[in-house]
Amino acid sequence: MISLLYLLALAADVPSGPEKGAVLPKLEAYAVTGDEKDQTLDVTAAGKDKLTLYLLVGDEKFDRPMHRFFKAIDDKLQGDFQDVRGVTVFLTQDEKKMKEFLPRFQMSANYGQLTLNVFKGKDGPKDWNINSDAHLTVLIAHQGKVVARYGYNSVNEAEAPAVLRELSKHYKKKGS
C-alpha cells in the first residue's frame, strides 16, 4: 500500500524549468493583468532585481485545484510577501482564446498580487526546459537567478505551504 506522504512527494517530483542557480532566460509574454496590461514584455527582465515567483502552466492543465493553489499563494503574497512579484504564465497554442478568457477569469478569481500572462507555445519559452508532463512549474528567482524550482503532476492548496516556506527563506523585508 502506497502511503499518502509518498504520493504527495511524487506530485512535486517532476523536473521542470531552469536548474537551481541558472540565470533565467528571456521570457516574452503578453500581460493580461497588472501594470503592463495589454503589452508584450520580457517578464524576466521586468523582475530581474526583485524576488519573483513564477507559475507556468499549460492552459489545458489549469483546473480548480490549481486555482486553489494559486489563490493560497496570492493571499500570502498580498499579506506576508508584498514586495514579491507573482507572475503566472499560461502556455497555450490558442493565444487569442486565452487573451479573451483570462480577463473574465480574473474578475472572479480576483488575484491581487499574481499577474496573468500568456505565452504562445504549449512547450514554453526556449531555454526554459518546461517538462510537458508537469501540470505546473514553479520557480522562485532572486536577482535573475533560480533559487528554487518545483514541478507538479497535480497540485492543490496543500502544496502551497512548501513553496511559501522556500519563498520566505529568500524574502527580506525592506529596512531589515
Q: What is the pLDDT of residues 94-123, one digit of tens each?
A: 999 999 999 999 999 999 999 999 999 999
CA-CA distance, 151 to 36, in Å (whole number)? 27
> Does 5 fall in a domain?
no
> Does 128 fall in a domain?
yes
What DSSP line would sit under 102-114, residue for residue?
A: HHHHHHHH--SSE
Cell of 93: 497554442
| Residue range of the domain that includes 112 | 11-170
Give CA separation, 109 vs 99, 104, 120, in Å: 16, 9, 22
Average of per-residue pLDDT across 35-58: 92
> Does 3 fall in a domain?
no
CA 23 to chain centre: 17
Tell me how many domains the chain contains: 1
pLDDT in the model for residue 12? 53
> Does 1 fall in a domain?
no
Would residue 168 be called left, alpha or beta, if left means φ above 0 and alpha means ψ between -120 and 50 degrees?
alpha
**SS3 call for 115:** strand
> Does 159 fall in a domain?
yes
> Does 175 fall in a domain?
no
Q: What is the pLDDT of residues 116-143, one digit of tens each?
A: 999 999 999 989 999 989 999 999 999 9
Average of per-residue pLDDT across 77-84: 93
**SS3 call for 30:** strand
> Does 91 fall in a domain?
yes
Using pLDDT thresholds of 50, 70 and 90, give the confidence band for residue 64. Answer: very high
CATH code: domain of residue 155: 3.40.30.10
pLDDT in the model for residue 175? 33
- Residue with cell string 512547450: 123
Higher-pLDDT residue of 174 and 43 is 43
> Does 123 fall in a domain?
yes
